[in-house]
Amino acid sequence: GENVEQHPSTLSVQEGDSAVIKCTYSDSASNYFPWYKQELGKRPQLIIDIRSNVGEKKDQRIAVTLNKTAKHFSLHITETQPEDSAVYFCLTGTASKLTFGTGTRLQVTL
Amino acid sequence: DAGVIQSPRHEVTEMGQEVTLRCKPISGHNSLFWYRQTMMRGLELLIYFNNNVPIDDSGMPEDRFSAKMPNASFSTLKIQPSEPRDSAVYFCASRNPGSSYNEQFFGPGTRLTVL
């Protein structure tokens, strides 16, 4: 089955700095790469996703990059704000099976 | 649409008791997922259904866990007998694979505490 590794497990940045979270995967058939954000006590929600035919996607302060050759993809958050503090999960797989990464707890400090 | 609905939101029970968690997916979504979340193990996929049929139950921890989806608008996850190590937040999520997006929409979760 798919093996997804997510790093780092915790990340602390100062407000205004950038944050980068990386995931690596093993299944070359994976073609869908979403990122979910889970605030404390709440449900995971999709924040951005990318498909295998695209190398990069950006939505305001967040972006995702994909390197299919190396089998890794990353979440980039620029100009971080306190409300970005949450746990972020990568997922990867196909339409029939998605696997969650282990999560990254991001703390944005003032 | 009210989104994915889960009940109860909180459940406290004693070891050995039967627990039933319920989920109503978003209307029109034909894939449904059950997840378990703990601090130690993170988010784990327990089972998912496509068109009411269980497709992958490899994440179900043991025979004490069972899940059913009798129709497109309802699913249950049952634990019998429950144990303290089953304490976790259980999420249900639904998805419409027929759309151009594969986003999973999560319910609010059920926080289960087994004493």
Tens of pLDDT, residues A71-107: 999 999 999 999 999 999 999 887 667 788 999 999 9
Q: How many CB pairs under 8 A join A and B?
A: 36
Question: Pick from B44, B103, B107: which is nearest to A43 by CB?
Answer: B107
The residue of chain A with its CA nearest to that of B96 is A95
More confident call, A93 vs A69: A69
Provide the mean pLDDT of chain B.
Answer: 93
H or E element that contains A13: strand A10-14
For the segment B28-70, what is each residue's pLDDT rounded down to a tens digit? 998 999 999 998 888 999 999 999 999 889 889 889 999 999 9
What pLDDT is recorded for position B1?
65
Q: Does B59 touch chain A (CB under 8 A)?
A: no
Q: Does B108 touch chain A (CB under 8 A)?
A: yes
Q: Does A58 touch chain B (CB under 8 A)?
A: no
Max intra-chain CA distance, chain B: 44
For the segment B71-101, what is each residue's pLDDT rounded down to a tens digit? 999 999 999 999 999 999 999 999 986 765 5
Give chain A positions within 8 Å (CB) of B106: 43-45
Alpha carbon distances (Å) from B90 to A32, A67, B64, B93: 24, 33, 15, 10
Q: What percent of chain A has pLDDT over 70?
A: 97
